[in-house]
Amino acid sequence: MKQSPNAPGERAPGALEPRVAIADRVDRQEGKPLRLRSWSIALVCIALTSGLQGCLLTRVLETRAQLCDDEPPRITVYQRSGSGLRVVFEKPTLTDRDVVWIVGYEPTAMTGTGSVREFSYEAVPLRRSDDHAGSLVARLAFRIIDGEDRLSEVEIPEKFNGVLSPQLLDATIRVVCKTQIGLVPPSTTFDLAPVDHATLPNRDALARLLGPSTDAPPRVNSASYQYCLVPCGVPVAMVANLKFAFGDDGVVDRVDASYFRYAVVVDLVASRAIATIELH
For 59-75, the pLDDT digits (tens) are 877 877 777 676 777 87
Do 223 and 200 touch, CB atoms closer than 8 A?
no
Dihedral of alpha carbons 137, 143, 145, 148, sign: positive
Query: E strand or H helix at 223, and its extent?
Result: strand 222-229
pLDDT tens per residue across all 280 residues of the chain:
333 334 444 443 333 333 333 333 344 344 445 545 445 555 555 555 555 555 777 887 787 777 767 677 787 777 776 778 888 999 999 999 999 988 888 999 999 877 889 999 999 988 777 777 888 999 999 999 988 999 999 998 888 888 887 778 667 666 666 666 666 667 888 888 888 888 888 999 999 999 889 888 888 899 999 999 888 877 767 889 999 999 998 999 999 999 988 999 999 988 888 999 888 7
Q: Which amino acid is at 184?
A: V
pLDDT digits (tens, 9 = 90+) for 141-184: 999 998 899 999 999 888 888 888 777 866 766 666 666 666 66
Bridge partners of 254? 245, 267
Longest dimension (CA), the chain: 55
| Burial label, 77 (beta-carbon count in 10 A; 0-12, 13-18, 19+) | buried
Q: What is the DSSP letter of 162?
A: G
Q: For residues 68 and 63, what is the distance between their CA atoms, to the nearest angstrom?
A: 9
Q: For residues 231 and 9, what is the distance between their CA atoms, to the nearest angstrom?
A: 39
